Structure 1
């Protein structure tokens, strides 16, 4: 791949549109593209929350489910980096509306952030949404690449309560959780590929983005214990116990089902995949849980306060 231009130097050409640019993943990808000199257009429901990046322009408000707003926001864009919408009962419709708007606006390529094991009968209910979105993109008149992320490493300390307990119906299943940084670097490599015609094409490809090793939640608790200096434990739950322990959050049934089945997907072995896609795309090893915790001490600060 040709060398990146000097930071802040923006090349000419149609922009790459990045959705979710105010979030943990879209923001990282947008920043990496801007540093590489790629013209970037940032999309979000609330433009005031979008980051200020060199060479980036801010699209007007563009909710996924508003086809006309998405068409306006995507007019003239070459590529769309489509971060999945927040979970909702209507998420598939929102995704398909955004995809149709992109095609209508003349977007030539979509790089979609999907989920590991996306399938119509996936244990994790939200992974089914991703499969339906992928199926719609495959039928659209557009080039595409799917990035199927595993669980986020960031979720492990976040899901551990201040009492030092991580609980869910994951049994002794394994998960190869992945860092946001690794997903962003892999996505950036895919997005930049069009600027380097000598490199491999990612069109029509699906990449499983995972960490370097699959571990149990009990092993994750052990790692959290080592880094925090206090005892962190994993407490397996039955399905009934999982629903009961989450009943007090006031969430709707579909959302609680998503929380519970995310653990059950681990128990079913659907999250144990370890892929070499991150090192293949980025040229460096994927981050493991210990490395993530060293790099992100704020992620477990709530545990230190209780220690």
Structure 2
């Protein structure tokens, strides 16, 4: 059944109650683009002009397929981190294909690979592979680490801890990722089969990030390059499952391995605007 027959928009956006899906949904609404917001809890969906909300869970294949009927283009934000996330992704992709979705724009991760050091990047690689085999058109947005998360990595004692060595990460802002996503969603066929590396304008070491946070905020922050043993020990206090601790630690070891280094021009090339730097973000956040 087509979107015209269902009376529902043919563009679907997942995660509109979260940071990225929310930015994308609001931008689309401001442009007058009709959209179908796929959410777990319809009561929490934002009230946006030209938008309708549909209950949908990556885990519930029947509900997902029903919510996706008539959708032509799907913006798929990765599911919340959990041990079964890859299975959820595969089930949702299968539901989209069964519902007749034409094109999926998937939020992946920089350097996604089956043998990536960052454990969750392997799940993204497997999701990409499942999409390639689905018969649907696809576009992958491979985000680097989020620069908004950097100051949250600072402990109460002003120390960023992790086994990252002198490795660099080209941290990128939520807003820049969302602007690229909207650009792609406005003309998906022009981006079919494309993989975009979304980075900020510079690749920084954690020591450099710490100095930038100190310079801008006035809070004294430094980086401590942990050993692997120290990294696992310092995170044991949270009582998290092994897969989660492995993901936390491997974020840093992936940086140490150089797998998050490298600045791409994809953000500026696609949106016409230079991506935001960590310093610019901190300065703008401080002025709000």
Partner Cα separation in structure 2 for residue 22 and residue 230 of structure 1: 31
Question: What is the match of residue 128 of structure 1?
Answer: 122
Q: Provide the secondary structure at the position in 2 that maps to 1:57.
A: strand
State which of 280, 288, 292 in structure 1 corresponds to 2:281: 292
Question: What is the match of residue 110 of structure 2?
Answer: 116
Question: What is the match of residue 192 of structure 1?
Answer: 186
Partner Cα separation in structure 2 for residue 105 and residue 38 of structure 1: 22
Deviation string, structure 1 residues 97-136 (Cα, Å, up to 9, x no partner): 1111111111111000000010000000000000000000
Q: TM-score, normalised by structure 1?
A: 0.89
Deviation string, structure 1 residues 131-151 (Cα, Å, up to 9, x no partner): 000000000111110000000
Number of residue pairs the alignment of both structures matches: 282
Instruction: Map 1:255-270; keep pairs closer than 5 Å.
Output: 255-270=244-259
Q: What's the CA shift for 1:298?
A: 9.1
Q: TM-score, normalised by structure 2?
A: 0.95
Structure 2's unaligned 5+ residue stretches are 1-6
Partner Cα separation in structure 2 for residue 174 and residue 227 of structure 1: 20
Question: What is the match of residue 39 of structure 1?
Answer: 34
Structure 1's unaligned 5+ residue stretches are 1-11, 300-307
State which of 146, 169, 182 in structure 2 corresponds to 1:175: 169
Partner Cα separation in structure 2 for residue 138 and residue 298 of structure 1: 44
Partner Cα separation in structure 2 for residue 281 and residue 158 of structure 1: 29
Q: Provide the secondary structure at the position in 1 that maps to 2:39.
A: coil
Structure 1 residue ranges (4+ consecutive) displaced by more than 4 angstroms after TM superposition: none
Partner Cα separation in structure 2 for residue 241 and residue 287 of structure 1: 33
Aligned-residue CA RMSD (Å): 1.5
Contact 1:164 1:231 in 2 (8 A): yes
